[in-house]
Each structure stands twice: as C-alpha cells, then as structure tokens.
Structure 1
Amino acid sequence: MVAIFADNDAPSIVTALYARTKALHLEAEKTGFINEMLHGRASRHGYALLLRNLHPPYREIEGGLERHRNSAILAPMARYRLARTQAIEADLIALCGPNWADQLPLLPEGEAYARTIARSADGDGSRLIAHAYTRYLGDLNGGQIVRRLLEKSLGLGPRELTHYDFSAIAEPTALKTDYRRAIEAAGAAAPDPSAIIAEGAVAFECNIALSVAVQLHLASEAATRAQ
C-alpha cells in the first residue's frame, strides 16, 4: 500500500481509512435499509430496528476505549466520552418505550458486528480506531444529514434523535476537528497502521450486512402481516 501523508509528513490514518473505504461507503449508501433511509422511505419502526442493532456495536466501541483509556495509543480518543450508547438508549425509549429490547429483535448481523468490534479491542486495541472512525466521524459528518432527513421524512424530534446531538459535549464542527486529530494521534502511535486500515473495510462490511439484514427483516414482517 502506498503511504499517505498529512501536511506534517506523519502518516495520516484518517486519509488512509478514507481511501480504503470510499467505495464501500458508496456501496453502503446504495444498499439495504440505509438506501431507503437516505431516500426518505424509512419507517419509524425500521429506524428503531436499525438503532436497536447498532446499540451493541456502540457499546463494544465505548467499552473497548474505556478499557484502553490509559494506553499510549488510544488515550487521545478515549478522553472523548461521546456516550452514543446512552444516546441510542434514550432514542429507543422515545421511539418504542422502556421495553424496546423486548420489542425489537437483535439480528444475527447486529450480534456479529458487536463481536467483530470486541475482537478489535484485543491486544493493544488499535484496531478499534477503525470502528471509531467509521461510527463517530460518520455521526459527526453524514449523520447530521441523516438527522435532517429523519426530521423531514419521519417527523422525528430532538428526543428521538439524540444519537446525532453532540451539543452537550462540544460544538459539532469543533468536535469533528478535534476528534479527527485524536484519531490521527492514535494512528500515529499504533505499531501496525495497515491492520487499522484493513479493519476499516471490515467495519463497513459489517455496516452493509446489517443494513441488508434490517431491510430483509422488515420485508419478512410485512409478508407475514399480509398473509
């Protein structure tokens, strides 16, 4: 792989992850439930099902970062306690009530995604960088567009969209810049950047698989109701 350098001539893990996952990112936007959501065709129930299956992956990212918060590699990222797991729980309560975990199934692809992240936290935990890049920078970038789409297409309000609200932590644009720098610092300290870049592709593949699974599950539910 050709090295990609930032302005200070240090390897840029963010740029390398972007280059490796660009095609997968485009595929994800055209696939499964995410495609429906981006075209304003999502249902409230479908969005809740997606969130329910993102809950374990976020829990594993945040648990892994917490375990490695004093490491030389992940400390710059771990100090940002973004708490998206709690935000997703709040959204699910607003969408479905306190018994959301009983009402919405955890799909095999959601479980597999969480297991993949748990494995990435093994050893020095550096492969977690790829999952934090995929989810958190995604939430701070395209996630803000998704929030506006969901407001318009589903009429969701702030109580149901706290997943995309970082205002209690910092102004989102500043947070995006600061968190990107934290990822760069973590990547520069990691002994094997190529493993992080490869994990970035795995992260997007997990997202695509989950998106397809959510859409298939919704179709199966619709077919059952039609019988």
Structure 2
Amino acid sequence: MRERTKALHVTAERTGIVAELLRGRGTVQSYALLLRSLLPVYEALEAELERHAASPVTGLIVRPELHRSAALRADLAQLDATDLPLLPEAIVYLNAIREAGSGSGHPLLAHAYTRYLGDLSGGQIIKKILARTLALPPEALSFYEFPEISDIPRFKDDYRVALEQAGAAMAEHDAVIEEAAIAFQLNITLSQALQQAAGLAG
C-alpha cells in the first residue's frame, strides 16, 4: 500500500486544507470544518471495524486505542462548532467506508492504513503547528492525542506488521491496495473542498 500511495501521499500534503494548515495559513474556522467532516468518516470506519472485529483478517487491525470519534466530538464542543454543515464530499467518503465494510470487510484495511497511520505520523506535526499558529489549547487538539499509546513509533511498527499479516491472509490483496489509492483520493477531494468552503482557495 505504501508504494501504491506514495505519490498520492505527497499530493495530499501539498493540496487543500491540509496544505493550508501545514503552512500555518489555516484558521480556527477551517480547522473546525475539517474536524466536522472527519467525524462521520471516523464514526463509519470505527463502526465497520468493530463489526468485523472477529474476522481472522480484518480483526488483526482493530485497535480501539486508535479510535478518534470521541476525541473529534470533544474538540468540536471545545471549539463550539458542533453545528457546522457537513460537506457532500464527506458524505461520499463515509459511504465509501460503509461500502468497504460490506462483505468480508477486507477493504477496511486500506482506510485504516490511510487514516490512522496518518494521524500517528503527519497528524503529530499538524498538532504542533495548530497549537502555535492558531493558539489552540490542548483541549481543542485531542484528535491528535493518543493517551492509550505510550510509544507511538513502536505502535506504528506493530500496526504495520498487523496490516502485513492481514494482507497475507486474504485473497483480494490487489483490490485492497487499490482501495488505499481510493482512500487517499477521497481525502484529497475532501481537503480541496474544505479549502474552498473555508475561503482559502487560490
């Protein structure tokens, strides 16, 4: 999945609201819009993963300590942004995750890989930038906090191993790799839509 999505990963960091935040050009409103859009995405992902927790394949990567839904709700409440509109691109994204969870649920591996490893890696960089450029308190940045994970680098290594084991245990390996590319593209499209909605495009 890493090789297939390498170019898309670069694009994701260089476009849309994510690029604005990384460059220190975001606003509290644009950050809140991002959280609002991600909440139903994570709710869908975590519900589908839990539904397949007993699977000998998908179950290998179900880790409740990664769940972000509660943290997203807390951050939105802290920012007084719980009533922000949901962009159509976010709905497309969550529907794609629900579709990935149908049947065997194996394509969920691609979405977990894209979101959770991103949160554990680039998300930690964004957290520091947001704290500095938007003067956000820790209470508004819990999305990037993983209190149940004491050693993030080691956890990431273990999670990659679990993903590899899950990949080796399924037949539709190529399809899941392509699902990772779809997941990155969904993120890019949402990020670009959020940039425009926040008035930061151009």
In 2, Cα distance between equivalents of 1:80 and 1:184: 19
**Partner residue, 1:30:** 14
SS of aligned partner of 1:216: helix
User: What code does the residue aligned with 2:60 have?
Assistant: P
SS of aligned partner of 2:199: helix
In 1, Cα distance between equivalents of 2:159 and 2:79: 29
SS of aligned partner of 1:29: helix
Query: Which structure 2 residues correspond to residues 71-86 of structure 1 after superposition, within 5 A?
Result: 71-86=55-70
Q: TM-score, normalised by structure 1?
A: 0.84
**Deviation of residue 170 (structure 1)?**
3.3
**Partner residue, 2:113:** 133
In 2, Cα distance between equivalents of 1:51 and 1:195: 29
Identity %: 47
Which of residues 24, 29, 41 in structure 1 aligns to 2:25? Answer: 41
Structure 1 unaligned regions, length at least 5 = 1-16, 223-227
| RMSD value, Cα | 1.5
**Partner residue, 1:7:** none
Which of residues 101, 105, 116 in structure 1 aligns to 2:82? Answer: 101
Q: Tell me how many residue pairs correspond in the alignment.
A: 201
**Partner residue, 1:166:** 146
User: What code does the residue aligned with 1:200 have?
Assistant: A
User: What code does the residue aligned with 1:25 have?
Assistant: H
Query: Which structure 2 residues correspond to residues 142-161 of structure 1 after superposition, within 5 A?
Result: 142-161=122-141
Q: TM-score, normalised by structure 2?
A: 0.94
Q: 1:53 to 1:60 in 2, by over 3 A?
A: same
Structure 2 unaligned regions, length at least 5 = none
